[in-house]
Structure 1
Amino acid sequence: MIRTIGPKVDLAGLIADAIEEGREVHVVEATETKQGTLEAFAEALDFPGWFGHNLDALADCLDHLAEHATQPWELIVDHVAALRAADDPAYTGLHLVLADLTLRHPSIHVTLLAR
Structure 2
Amino acid sequence: MRILGDRVDLDGLIADAEEEGRTVEVIPAGATKEESLAAFSEVLNFPEWFGMNLDALADCLDTFARETTNEWELVWDGVARLRESDPKAAAGIESVLADVGADHPKVHMTIINR
TM-score by length of 1: 0.98
Deviations 1:43-81 (A, max 9, x none): 010001110000000000000000000101000000011
- Matched residues in 2 for 1:70 and 1:63: separation? 13
Q: What amino acid is the match of 1:108?
A: V
Displacement over 2 Å in runs of 4+: none
Specify the alignment match of 2:63 in structure 1.
64
SS at match of 1:38: helix
2:99 maps to 100
Is the counterpart of residue 81 in structure 1 residue 102 in structure 2?
Answer: no
Unaligned regions of 5+ residues in structure 2, if any? none
The 2-side partners of 1:87 and 1:74 are apart by 25
2:74 partner SS: strand
- Give secondary structure in 2 for the equivalent of 1:101: helix
Distance 2:88 2:37 in 1: 14
Which structure 2 residues correspond to residues 21-36 of structure 1 after superposition, within 5 A?
A: 21-36=20-35
RMSD: 0.5
State the percentage of identical aligned residues.
54
Report the equivalent of 1:12: 11
Shift of 1:103: 1.0
Q: Aligned residues, how many?
A: 114
Task: Give the unaligned 5+ runs of structure 1.
Answer: none
Q: In the alignment, does 2:40 pair up with 1:41?
A: yes
Q: TM-score, normalised by structure 2?
A: 0.98
SS of the aligned residue for 1:50 comes to coil
